[in-house]
Chain A
């Protein structure tokens, strides 16, 4: 693999709480190459969104990125002056949010919102023509006429696609899609996913797909990163990870999924709850819910190479499956 587009090392993002600092992302390492789709899965509160908001520099005070390196195209985004980072956002890194209805400004027409993004980044050419092209690109029929529409006049799927069009207006290199399909029904979900695939193949867009939906990841992303309690539990090629998990949490996620091909298979929910992030120790964070836990799990567990481009944060990775 050539030098990755985005390379994150030791990212630690902290929010102060009444019970002390809470590290919502704690020592997160990952890479994304140009044209690659990385699936990021994990339950709510596992630090998926916080990790990528940190990358975009969008963590709101009092939360802050405390440590780590965020290399984008070889430059550390954390050391970049704020105006420069702002110019990079949208132009190089873009974010597509889960809820398109609230992510679009209700008082401005879709056209205005695209045109203003183009202007904000000084994209040359006729912004209206470019806006029509973008809307057409994401598959909105009769784009020229729909430019004057307000978000509430669009259907759910169209809003989602319009929002992706806005995110992609300045032709970013990396799109962070934060649960882009959670609010959509399956047919529209397929449309949006196809669109992202197309953009990836044709324009070399890198996509970080944050999702709850393992099926989406299995289908669309060649690599997957499983997060748990603010840490990366496991990464690797999606097919490998799903077939032979190397972390008990991944296995737990797989076993709690219903499967169409084995309708009689009993579901095994993961027992217990996500640990309180303000009160975790240095040991493995999954050990209180883990069937394989041993005394040694209380010691710090690093993310280690378990072969075949796979990393796992489990001392008994080889025994998981």
Chain B
């Protein structure tokens, strides 16, 4: 055992975790779906077959290619109530969903990690202040909190990100605070103090690398939730404004025609489902990979 360890090329804990992740089939497929969605989002203008904002009432509610014979050619997934191509709108909608989710999760992870490190490491009044703030924010129902903020600030992409970040950072913060409390008691932190390292150095260079993997896992889990939140806000008309396509507002647009033209609402709904499910499965795979104690099942 020790001999094989010594012979192996130096592998960081992160590299070992990635290796475990790559052996997990379900998570790998899910990750592939997420990557595909990300690629669609990034290259949307080149991939989308039509202009997503090009309205034509002659194409109003025309059916997907497989559902009817007399549908407009080149509009594979049919058209919405203004005759806009649903496929192109879905591809462009992925941009909004993923960019909002990525921005919110990244900003929240940075803020939450720094706040959690400070709360866990310094303790005392710093911890009391941050923890009470977290508890207070936790007391608000998420959607109500976001709706309230959006109503105050007005709709728009930047405001969605801001409103969601204001709530989202607490999830990372709580995890990092707990991990920091545990890491703070480790001998290597004591050793760093004995070597004369400053608190900033200890937090960022000694503790941070050891709490980073739960941050990654929480961030991916939260990403799925943020996508649903953005879709909910857009559904309620508080999100990105027309004509920018967003999956949430597309579901909302189609709900009057659900009986006559099911595809207008259903297709963006399926996209949300597929993306959120994939992110969840992928992040479960990540969690298993980064926490071998839970990995005993396979």
Interface of A with B (CB < 8 Å)?
Answer: 56, 58, 86-91, 94-95, 97, 99, 102-109, 116-117, 120-121, 148-150, 152-153, 155, 163, 166-167, 169-170
Apart from the given pairs A120-B201, A163-B191, 14 other A-B contacts in the complex at a CB distance below 8 Å: A58-B194, A86-B196, A86-B197, A89-B195, A104-B188, A105-B206, A105-B210, A107-B13, A116-B205, A120-B196, A155-B6, A169-B195, A170-B195, A170-B196
Among the listed B6, B13, B195, B212, which residue makes an inter-chain contact with A120, where contact means beta carbons less than 8 Å apart? Answer: B195
- Chain B: interface secondary structure? helix
Q: Is B54 an interface residue (CB 8 A)?
A: no
Cβ A102 vs Cβ B193 within 8 A: no
Cβ B193 vs Cβ A89 within 8 A: yes
Cβ B198 vs Cβ A120 within 8 A: yes
Q: Is B187 an interface residue (CB 8 A)?
A: yes
Across-interface contacts of B201 in A (CB, < 8 A) = 116, 120
Chain A's closest residue to B184 (CB) is A60
Whole-angstrom distance between the Cβ of B46 and the nearest chain A Cβ: 41
Residue interface bits B1-25, CB-to-A below 8 A is 1, else 0:
0100110101111000000000000
Q: Is B209 an interface residue (CB 8 A)?
A: yes
Among the listed A94, A102, A107, A109, which residue makes an inter-chain contact with B195, where contact means beta carbons less than 8 Å apart? Answer: A94
Across-interface contacts of B209 in A (CB, < 8 A) = 105, 107-108
Q: Is B244 an interface residue (CB 8 A)?
A: no
Chain A's closest residue to B7 (CB) is A153
**Alpha-carbon distance A105/B188, docked complex (angstroms):** 5
Cβ B10 vs Cβ A149 within 8 A: yes
Whole-angstrom distance between the Cβ of B125 and the nearest chain A Cβ: 13
**Alpha-carbon distance A152/B8, docked complex (angstroms):** 12
Across-interface contacts of B11 in A (CB, < 8 A) = 150
Residue pairs across A and B with Cβ atoms less than 8 A apart, 29 shown, are A58-B193, A86-B198, A89-B194, A89-B195, A90-B196, A94-B194, A94-B195, A95-B191, A95-B194, A99-B187, A102-B186, A103-B188, A104-B188, A104-B191, A107-B12, A107-B209, A108-B205, A108-B206, A109-B12, A117-B195, A120-B201, A121-B196, A153-B6, A153-B10, A155-B2, A155-B6, A163-B191, A166-B195, A167-B194
Chain B's closest residue to A89 (CB) is B196
Q: Is B190 an interface residue (CB 8 A)?
A: yes
**Alpha-carbon distance A17/B12, docked complex (angstroms):** 42
Chain A's closest residue to B124 (CB) is A61
Whole-angstrom distance between the Cβ of B30 and the nearest chain A Cβ: 27
Whole-angstrom distance between the Cβ of B218 and the nearest chain A Cβ: 18
How many Cβ-Cβ contacts under 8 Å join chain A to chain B?
Answer: 88
Across-interface contacts of A109 in B (CB, < 8 A) = 10, 12
Whole-angstrom distance between the Cβ of A234 and the nearest chain B Cβ: 28
Whole-angstrom distance between the Cβ of A241 and the nearest chain B Cβ: 29
Cβ B190 vs Cβ A97 within 8 A: yes
Across-interface contacts of B206 in A (CB, < 8 A) = 105, 108
Across-interface contacts of A89 in B (CB, < 8 A) = 193-196
**Alpha-carbon distance A53/B96, docked complex (angstroms):** 55
Across-interface contacts of A148 in B (CB, < 8 A) = 10
Interface of B with A (CB < 8 Å)?
Answer: 2, 5-6, 8, 10-13, 186-188, 190-198, 201, 205-206, 209-210, 212
Across-interface contacts of B10 in A (CB, < 8 A) = 109, 148-150, 153
**Alpha-carbon distance A4/B5, docked complex (angstroms):** 46
Whole-angstrom distance between the Cβ of B193 and the nearest chain A Cβ: 6
Across-interface contacts of A97 in B (CB, < 8 A) = 187, 190-191, 194
The 4 A-B residue pairs with the shortest CB-CB distance in the complex, in nearest-first order: A90-B196, A90-B195, A107-B209, A95-B194
**Which of B2, B186, B191, B212 gathers most chain A CB within 10 Å?**
B191
Cβ A152 vs Cβ B190 within 8 A: no
Whole-angstrom distance between the Cβ of B92 and the nearest chain A Cβ: 41
Chain B's closest residue to A91 (CB) is B196
**Alpha-carbon distance A27/B174, docked complex (angstroms):** 43
**Alpha-carbon distance A104/B190, docked complex (angstroms):** 10
**Alpha-carbon distance A56/B212, docked complex (angstroms):** 30
Whole-angstrom distance between the Cβ of B251 and the nearest chain A Cβ: 43
Cβ B210 vs Cβ A107 within 8 A: yes
Across-interface contacts of B5 in A (CB, < 8 A) = 152-153
Whole-angstrom distance between the Cβ of B10 and the nearest chain A Cβ: 5
Whole-angstrom distance between the Cβ of A242 and the nearest chain B Cβ: 30
Among the listed A102, A149, A170, which residue makes an inter-chain contact with B187, where contact means beta carbons less than 8 Å apart? Answer: A102
A167-B195 contact given A116-B205, A153-B6, CB 8 Å threshold: yes
**Alpha-carbon distance A243/B113, docked complex (angstroms):** 59
**Alpha-carbon distance A148/B187, docked complex (angstroms):** 21
Across-interface contacts of A99 in B (CB, < 8 A) = 187
**Which of A56, A105, A117 gathers most chain B CB within 10 Å?**
A105
Across-interface contacts of B188 in A (CB, < 8 A) = 102-106
Across-interface contacts of A94 in B (CB, < 8 A) = 194-195
Whole-angstrom distance between the Cβ of A147 and the nearest chain B Cβ: 10
Whole-angstrom distance between the Cβ of A6 and the nearest chain B Cβ: 15
**Alpha-carbon distance A86/B197, docked complex (angstroms):** 7
Chain A's closest residue to B208 (CB) is A107
**Alpha-carbon distance A117/B206, docked complex (angstroms):** 11
Whole-angstrom distance between the Cβ of A156 and the nearest chain B Cβ: 10
**Alpha-carbon distance A150/B196, docked complex (angstroms):** 22
Across-interface contacts of A169 in B (CB, < 8 A) = 195
**Alpha-carbon distance A163/B190, docked complex (angstroms):** 13
Chain B's closest residue to A120 (CB) is B197
**Alpha-carbon distance A37/B178, docked complex (angstroms):** 41
**Alpha-carbon distance A108/B10, docked complex (angstroms):** 12
